Amino acid sequence: MAIEEDLDSWKISSTKTMISYGFGYIFVNWLLSYGLANVYYFYQVEMGLNVIYVGIAYAIFAVWNMVNDPLLGYFTDKPMKWTKKWGLRAPWVYITTIPVLLFFWLIWLPPVGGSVIVIVLWFIIFTCLHDTFFSIYNDHVYGGFTNQFPSEYERRRAFAIATILMFIVLTFMSIMSSVLIVYGNPASFVMWATFMVILLAIFSIIIFPGVRESEELKQMFLTAYEKADETSFFNNLKIALKTKNFRVSLAGYTITLTATTLFGGSLIYMFRYVYGIPFTMTAIPALFGVVASLCMIPFWSNYARKHGFKKTYATAYIIHGFCFLPFLFTFDIITHTIFYIIYNMVYIGEVTMLMPVASDTYDEVSSNVGRRVDASLVGIRTFFFRVALLIQAIVFTVVFLLTGFNAAAETQSPSAQLGIRINGALIPAILMITMGFIFRKYYTLEGEEKMALVMKLKDLGLYR
């Protein structure tokens, strides 16, 4: 259930700050969910690498992602010389923006005609460099949300605004992707990457004011670190994983990201080899999907206000799982669009609760540690989220081999087409439905338990 709050006791963050911060989520979520969605296809089909080589390279990249996130989060989640003047999190966002964009662009520029080893190494080196800087950026954008928006009201409102912005802008970016990317033309992927890097650079200018920390926040960080003993990475990890609600939330989003990564990575295969239509046609479901999503935001926001974060998240989560199943049977752009509209009407409810639920669990873990460790927690979460990339590498490689997918062929056998559907629909559905019921049963941070947490944070000086 939702909790009652006295909002007169602190200054509520402005709508302008919430909008600016929302562009941070556009930056992060495009790179996280869309930016590399077609990289497996690009290196397998466009660059002609054997599926085994692509699977190995992708797995190495995924493992590196898993390892670097928690460590980078921990090492940057403490005051530096610049903290008193510039803040704890904002400087890391400023510093990492250019390397994130540069290395992303280079991923799509492997040497044409290079040997297999050269292309594989190019894939591994630049995806890993990109993710190293992206991990720091991501840790401090997500970690900063908890501190910038401490109340349930602010978290619900700020992430609703971020969700609206994400669905509008990411849909535009998705449509532009469908226009720029052409089957059989590797240069079109370079053009697409260049356009997206320019767009994200513009967004960065909008983001910077939103992540800027107030003098009150800077002092809160410094005071908390002076009062509390510094704990090791493994101690923070131990405390976090012993906190049940953090574990459940962690598992929930890991499964969501795994399911949506499999689904998103399968779409280019679905459109080319199952429906037999140009990639530009992805603009149709994307456009209708965003309209459906935006129309449902008031419903889900009102539902969350009445029933709280837990019930809203669990309800949307389980229904979202069932929404994957129709894609086992879609046969053209019309049926795909119809079910994609329904999919987005439900998915938007889950998305609007993502950071509110995560922020509550960050609060709980920080209260157990005695100081804010949000970037460390984002790093730990991202370690598990990256399981999605590893699972995609394994699932795609195994299913493509078992079903006889032929990257050199213009058409695929019925078994290969079925494999594409298994990758993008059946496996995601099973994962989501199962996890949804687990979340509903074991997540408990609501009502009186949540109110007690807020009081504890205030007593510790960890609540703005």
Taking the C-alpha atoms of residue 199 and residue 176, their distance in angstroms, rounded to an integer, is 11
User: What integer pLDDT is reported at residue 107 of this predicted model?
Assistant: 96
Domain ranges of the chain: 20-460
Classify burial at 49, counting beta carbons within 10 Å of its beta carbon; exposed 0-12, middle 13-18, buried 19 or more.
Answer: buried
Per-residue model confidence as pLDDT tens digits over 272-303: 999 999 988 988 998 899 899 889 988 998 99
Per-residue model confidence as pLDDT tens digits over 320-345: 999 999 999 998 999 999 999 999 99
Spatial CB neighbours of 115, under 8 Å, sequence gap ≥ 6: none
Spatial CB neighbours of 377, under 8 Å, sequence gap ≥ 6: 73, 143, 236, 240, 246, 361, 362, 365, 366
Per the CB < 8 A criterion, the answer to whether 5 and 152 are in contact is: yes
Average pLDDT of the segment spanning 410-424: 94
Residue with tokens 């687990």: 438
Structure-derived torsion over alpha carbons of residues 57, 63, 69, 72, reported in degrees to the nearest 10: -80
Per-residue model confidence as pLDDT tens digits over 95-145: 999 999 999 999 999 998 889 999 999 999 999 999 999 988 988 887 777
User: What integer pLDDT is reported at residue 464 of this predicted model?
Assistant: 57
Task: Tell me the DSSP string of 43-78.
Answer: IIIIS---HHHHHHHHHHHHHHHHHHHHHHHHHHSS
User: What integer pLDDT is reported at residue 460 of this predicted model?
Assistant: 77
Q: Is the pLDDT of residue 23 over 80?
A: yes
Taking the C-alpha atoms of residue 289 and residue 297, their distance in angstroms, rounded to an integer, is 13
113: left (phi over 0), alpha (psi -120 to 50) or beta: left
Taking the C-alpha atoms of residue 274 and residue 327, their distance in angstroms, rounded to an integer, is 11
Q: What is the DSSP letter of 270?
A: I
Binning the chain into helix, strand and coil, the percentages to the nearest 5 are 80, 0, 20
Taking the C-alpha atoms of residue 336 and residue 344, their distance in angstroms, rounded to an integer, is 12
Highest mean pLDDT out of 7-11, 137-141, 436-440, 451-455:
436-440
CB atoms within 10 A of CB 455: 11
Instruction: Using alpha carbons, list the distances in angstroms from residue 306 to 134, 156, 323.
Output: 36, 12, 25
User: What integer pLDDT is reported at residue 17 of this predicted model?
Assistant: 86
Q: If we measure between CA atoms, which residue out of 51, 47, 59, 46 comes closest to residue 419?
A: 51
Q: What is the CATH number of domain 20-460?
A: 1.20.1250.20
Instruction: Using alpha carbons, list the distances in angstroms from residue 50 to 36, 92, 184, 205.
Output: 19, 38, 16, 40
Cα angle 418, 424, 427; round to 5: 90
Q: Is the pLDDT of residue 229 over 60?
A: no
Residue with tokens 């077609």: 38
Q: What is the DSSP letter of 257?
A: H
Per the CB < 8 A criterion, the answer to whether 106 and 98 are in contact is: no
Average pLDDT of the segment spanning 224-236: 67
Q: What is the DSSP letter of 278?
A: -
Average pLDDT over the chain reads 86
Per the CB < 8 A criterion, the answer to whether 418 and 266 are in contact is: no
3-state secondary structure 306-363: HHHHHHHHHHHHHHHHHCCHHHHCCCCHHHHHHHHHHHHHHHHHHHHHHHHHHHHHHH
User: What integer pLDDT is reported at residue 443 of this predicted model?
Assistant: 93
Q: What ranges make up the beta strands (E) of 363-426?
A: none
CA 110 to chain centre: 26
Per the CB < 8 A criterion, the answer to whether 110 and 241 are in contact is: no
Per-residue model confidence as pLDDT tens digits over 1-17: 445 544 444 467 788 88
Per-residue model confidence as pLDDT tens digits over 366-375: 888 887 777 7
Classify burial at 62, counting beta carbons within 10 Å of its beta carbon; exposed 0-12, middle 13-18, buried 19 or more.
Answer: buried
Q: Is the pLDDT of residue 164 over 60?
A: yes
Taking the C-alpha atoms of residue 449 and residue 361, their distance in angstroms, rounded to an integer, is 12
CB atoms within 10 A of CB 117: 9
Q: Could you tell me how many residues make up the chain?
A: 464
Tokens of 178: 């469908």
User: What integer pLDDT is reported at residue 226 of this predicted model?
Assistant: 65
Per the CB < 8 A criterion, the answer to whether 248 and 443 are in contact is: yes
Q: What is the DSSP letter of 275?
A: S
Q: Is the pLDDT of residue 401 over 70?
A: yes
